[in-house]
């Protein structure tokens, strides 16, 4: 990818003498940003622009051209790339629109340019993009004329939207954040987001990476690349509502929506996800500070009201207010003009006006071993304290670096002064108290996660009957149906997942015999290819205590189903012994289009989709991740044991999750599967799947 950002010569193809020609904007930007290489202009009508000859073809240029930047009608792109190939130019940025996003004709042109690129071993960004920027050498190829408002820095950005990318550059300029490189990925026909990410991870000038994503082509590859990144990656993922437009065929599919999978995947590979522009700017800033290595926070404020707001935000963010030594507080009180404020943490220093004393307090606070980070809330009038405050901030930044602990600066002053501070301090400046605390917690969580990822947990592998399970799927696949209840249950058994015994029977008489064999009371569940949610249509009868009860239940079930759904074919029923006691979970898995196999665990039973309380991970998962999934559930305390209740068998749940993870990885033909409910008994008593639904992936 380096050749895209460091060419010695650039040919801008699509330049003319017309005043509204957009190719001229590319030439302007290369000049404005001080591109250090040679610029050639190309356009079919020839002529002169900006003192340069416009060549009619790239083939007419006498010298070698490293990079072609193309902005011409879509239909011309295949022939232009062909000429680039003949010229020996193997790198291009295709900014033109009018391809797959505009219909079938555009898709055909896409296929043509892919073939041309393959023929000449050519790599290109786009099409339908806004271009690339490299602040190190002045390469700037977007077609809208730009001003160099963003300073040269160490943040590189990949954006799947040119417009959003430009907006983020404006945000960076306003927040005083420096840009290193920028690329608008466009339709990604040739160079993918994942390749660009891998390049930025190795790029010496890039220290922080920002992604704007509307789609993910290869989630597994994205996770693999991100996991090995020593650099922070911040991602704004949009287009999150698309999945909800389809009707889910299983609990698992409805609960593990595309956005939930994205959230889980990013967390697993160390990508920081943001959902709005405010968080984007704040997170890029806070990750520049030293790591907050624990939860103990000190709040130092000139305003009592701001201190209270910060304390509340601290509690909501899961941070802890450290207890200051009494002698430390007494030393501060000596500098007060009046003893009207009782000192604690937060430190309300509203009675202090000597900023030099503020500096000494911050120094002493950072020196305390128990303090992991500081939030300094500084309100001031720039007219009277502007320069003194600037000097204070500069020295606070030095202290933060000296002690290798983060100091998050919140300021409340005139807008003009805030803008100056953001653009001139090499340190993040916040203007919202709650956002300051939230960002600092993100700093703590990010560095804790990165440290944890450096100690990878192994993925367990169980001795299972994989080939037998695959052979059991052959019959349903050949018959173009999903596995029936008893078939799915047998596959679980082959993977060592405990499931209640069941006897499939074809009619009422056999149902009575099966109930007699298993012992009363029993449960009866309909077996049908067309019925997925059995309880919704009366396909489940529980607690049947006699032969007469089984007979009545069978007739009643069949009658009601056939009256309501006459087209449904009933293959029979499954008789199972009733299982009592324990608590209910749902365990599910599916094949995600972007990330592959996914597993989930949630609070089970008939209300699972109402409450939607689930935790999701991309498989395969480790034992540590399985435990984290359980602990993330808001109802986890019930399973851990509360108010005198005995704890549930957590180890048994973990074992099921790990085996389930192996199942969905081993059997990609299983599109969706869920156990609902998984009945979990008391500690060391195990768990038992009571029902399973399996849906094969459609060819």
Domain segments of the chain: what residues?
1-138, 149-275, 291-453, 466-577, 583-696
CA distance 125 to 613: 41
Distances (CA, A) of 310 to 116, 298, 377, 436, 682: 59, 10, 9, 8, 42
- Cβ pair 623, 631 in contact under 8 A: no
Give the model's pLDDT for residue 350.
Answer: 81
**pLDDT above 80 for 601:** yes
Nearest to 12 by CA among 53, 33, 34: 53
Give the model's pLDDT for residue 249.
Answer: 45
Exposure class string for 380-389: b at 16+ Cβ within 10 A, else e: bebeebbeeb
User: Across the strands, what pairs with 271?
Assistant: 233
Written as six digits, the tokens of 500 are 């209640």
CA distance 84 to 224: 34
CA distance 233 to 197: 9
Give the pLDDT mean for 402-421: 96
- Determine the topology of domain 149-275 in CATH: Rossmann fold (3.40.50)
Give the model's pLDDT for residue 402.
Answer: 97
Give the pLDDT mean for 120-139: 96
Sign of CA dihedral 150, 178, 279, 188: positive
Q: With the CA atoms of 409, 154, 163 and 198 taken in that order, what torsion angle do they form, in degrees rounded to the nearest 10?
A: -130
CA distance 322 to 646: 34
Give the model's pLDDT for residue 564.
Answer: 83
Question: What are the start-end ranges of the E strands in 205-305?
Answer: 208-213, 233-237, 271-274, 296-301
The reply to whether omega before 127 is within 30° of 0 (cis) is yes
**pLDDT above 60 for 242:** no
Confidence of residue 281 (pLDDT cuts 50, 70, 90): confident
Give the pLDDT mean for 36-55: 95
Give the model's pLDDT for residue 456.
Answer: 76
Q: Domain 466-577 - what CATH class?
A: alpha beta
- Determine the topology of domain 291-453 in CATH: Rossmann fold (3.40.50)
- Cβ pair 219, 211 in contact under 8 A: no
Confidence of residue 244 (pLDDT cuts 50, 70, 90): very low
Give the pLDDT mean for 481-486: 91
How large a percentage of the chain has pLDDT more than 90?
76
CATH of the domain spanning 583-696:
3.30.470.20
**Counts for the chain of helices (H) and strands (E), in that order:** 24, 30
**pLDDT above 60 for 607:** no
Tell me the pairing of strands 52-55 and 91-94.
unpaired
Exposure class string for 22-53: b at 16+ Cβ within 10 A, else e: bbbbbbbbbeebebebbbbbbbeebeebeeee
Give the model's pLDDT for residue 538.
Answer: 79
**pLDDT above 90 for 612:** no
Neighbours of 472 (CB within 10 A): 17
The per-residue pLDDT for range 614-632, each reduced to its tens digit, is: 899 999 999 999 999 999 9
**pLDDT above 70 for 610:** no
Lowest mean pLDDT of 7-21, 244-258, 365-379, name the range. Answer: 244-258
Give the model's pLDDT for residue 341.
Answer: 57
Which residue has 């930047």 as its token pair? 69
How large a percentage of the chain has pLDDT more than 70?
95
Give the model's pLDDT for residue 336.
Answer: 74
The per-residue pLDDT for range 390-408, each reduced to its tens digit, is: 999 999 999 999 999 999 9
CA distance 183 to 142: 10
**pLDDT above 60 for 116:** yes
**pLDDT above 70 for 9:** yes
Residue 276 exposure: Cα atoms within 13 Å on the Cβ side: 3
Specify the 3-state DSSP secondary structure of 585.
strand
CA distance 314 to 373: 12
The per-residue pLDDT for range 498-547, each reduced to its tens digit, is: 999 999 999 999 999 999 999 999 999 999 887 766 777 778 999 999 99
- As a whole number of Å, the CA-based R_g of the chain is 32
| 276 alpha-carbon distance from chain centroid | 13
The per-residue pLDDT for range 75-106, each reduced to its tens digit, is: 999 999 999 999 999 999 999 998 887 788 98
Same fold flag, 1-138 and 149-275? yes
CA distance 163 to 184: 9
**pLDDT above 90 for 290:** yes
Distances (CA, A) of 663 to 37, 191, 624, 676, 698: 55, 33, 18, 17, 18
Q: With the CA atoms of 145, 150, 156 and 161 taken in that order, what torsion angle do they form, in degrees rounded to the nearest 10?
A: -40
Give the pLDDT mean for 24-51: 96
Give the model's pLDDT for residue 609.
Answer: 63
| 48 alpha-carbon distance from chain centroid | 48
CA distance 67 to 38: 10
Written as six digits, the tokens of 585 are 């979970």
Question: DSSP string covering 227-256, please?
Answer: HT-SS-EEEEE---SGGGGSPPSSHHHHHS
Specify the 3-state DSSP secondary structure of 581.
coil
Lowest mean pLDDT of 94-103, 225-234, 235-244, name the range. Answer: 235-244
**pLDDT above 60 for 243:** no
Give the model's pLDDT for residue 530.
Answer: 78
Which homologous superfamily is 1-138 in?
NAD(P)-binding Rossmann-like Domain (3.40.50.720)
Give the pLDDT mean for 189-200: 96
- Cβ pair 240, 259 in contact under 8 A: yes
Give the pLDDT mean for 563-568: 85
The chain-wide mean pLDDT, for the chain, equals 91
Written as six digits, the tokens of 665 are 């990885």
User: Please, what is the Cα angle at 59 between 54 and 61, to 5 degrees?
Assistant: 50
Give the pLDDT mean for 136-156: 95
Written as six digits, the tokens of 326 are 């009494």
Q: Residue 491, exposed/middle/buried by CB under 10 A (0-12, 13-18, 19+)?
A: buried
Confidence of residue 247 (pLDDT cuts 50, 70, 90): very low
User: Please, what is the Cα angle at 671 between 669 and 676, to 5 degrees?
Assistant: 125
């Amino acid at each position: 990818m380096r050749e895209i950002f460091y060419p010695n010569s650039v040919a801008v193809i699509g330049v003319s003498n017309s005043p509204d020609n957009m190719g001229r904007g590319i030439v302007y930007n290369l000049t404005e940003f001080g591109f250090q290489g040679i610029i050639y202009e190309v356009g079919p009508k020839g002529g002169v622009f900006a003192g340069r000859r416009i060549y009619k073809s790239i083939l007419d240029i006498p010298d070698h051209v490293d990079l072609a930047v193309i902005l011409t009608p879509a239909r011309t792109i295949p022939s232009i790339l062909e000429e680039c190939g003949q010229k020996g130019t193997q790198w291009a940025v295709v900014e033109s629109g009018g391809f797959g996003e505009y219909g079938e004709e555009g898709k055909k042109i896409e296929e043509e340019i892919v073939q041309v690129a393959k023929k000449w071993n050519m790599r290109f960004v786009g099409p339908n993009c806004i271009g690339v920027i490299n602040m190190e050498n002045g390469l700037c190829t977007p077609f809208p004329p730009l001003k160099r408002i963003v300073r040269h820095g160490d943040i590189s950005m990949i954006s799947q939207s040119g417009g959003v990318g430009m907006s983020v550059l404006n945000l960076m300029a306003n927040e005083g954040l420096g840009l290193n490189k920028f690329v608008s990925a466009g339709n990604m026909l040739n160079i993918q987001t994942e390749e660009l990410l891998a390049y930025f991870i190795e790029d010496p000038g890039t220290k922080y990476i920002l992604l704007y994503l509307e789609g993910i082509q290869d989630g597994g590859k994205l996770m693999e690349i991100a996991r090995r990144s020593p650099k922070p990656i911040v991602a704004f993922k949009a287009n999150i509502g698309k999945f909800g437009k389809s009707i889910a065929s299983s609990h698992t599919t409805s609960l593990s929506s595309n956005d939930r999978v994205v959230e889980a995947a990013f967390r697993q590979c160390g990508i920081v996800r943001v959902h709005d522009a405010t968080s984007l700017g704040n997170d890029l800033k806070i990750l520049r500070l030293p790591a907050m290595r624990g939860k103990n926070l000190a709040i130092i404020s000139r305003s009592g009201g701001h201190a209270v707001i910060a304390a509340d935000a601290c509690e909501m963010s899961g941070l802890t207010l450290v207890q200051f030594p009494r002698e430390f507080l007494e030393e501060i009180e000596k500098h007060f003009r009046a003893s009207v404020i009782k000192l604690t943490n937060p430190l309300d220093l509203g009675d202090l006006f000597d900023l030099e004393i503020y500096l000494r307090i911050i120094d002493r606070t950072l020196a305390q071993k128990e303090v992991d980070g500081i939030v300094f809330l500084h309100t001031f009038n720039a007219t009277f304290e502007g320069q003194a405050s600037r000097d204070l901030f500069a020295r606070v930044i030095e202290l933060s670096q000296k002690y290798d602990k983060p100091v998050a600066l919140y300021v409340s002053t005139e807008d003009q002064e805030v803008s100056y501070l953001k653009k001139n301090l090499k340190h993040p400046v916040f203007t919202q108290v709650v956002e300051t605390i939230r960002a600092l917690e993100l700093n703590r969580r990010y560095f804790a996660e990165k440290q944890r990822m450096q100690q990878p947990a192994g993925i367990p592998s169980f001795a299972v009957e994989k080939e037998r399970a695959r052979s059991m799927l052959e019959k349903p696949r050949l018959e173009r149906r999903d596995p029936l209840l008893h078939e799915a249950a047998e596959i679980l058994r082959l993977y060592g997942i405990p499931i209640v015994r069941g006897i499939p029977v074809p009619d009422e008489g056999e149902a009575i015999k099966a109930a007699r064999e298993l012992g009363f009371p029993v449960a009866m569940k309909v077996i049908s290819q067309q019925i997925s949610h059995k309880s919704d249509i009366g396909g489940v009868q529980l607690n049947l205590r006699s032969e007469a009860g089984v007979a009545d239940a069978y007739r009643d079930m069949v009658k009601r189903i056939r009256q309501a759904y006459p087209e449904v074919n009933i293959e029979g029923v499954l008789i199972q012994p009733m299982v009592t006691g324990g608590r209910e979970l749902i365990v599910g898995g599916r094949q995600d289009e972007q990330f592959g196999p996914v597993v989930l665990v949630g609070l089970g039973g008939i209300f699972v989709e109402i409450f939607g309380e689930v935790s999701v991970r991309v498989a395969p998962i480790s034992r540590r991740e399985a435990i984290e999934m359980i602990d993330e559930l808001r109802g986890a305390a019930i399973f851990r044991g509360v108010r005198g209740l005995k704890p549930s068998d957590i180890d048994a749940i973990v074992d099921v999750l790990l085996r389930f993870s192996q199942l969905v990885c081993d059997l990609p033909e299983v599109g969706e599967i869920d156990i609902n409910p998984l009945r979990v008994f008391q500690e060391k008593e195990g768990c038992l799947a009571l029902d399973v639904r399996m849906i094969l992936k459609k060819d």
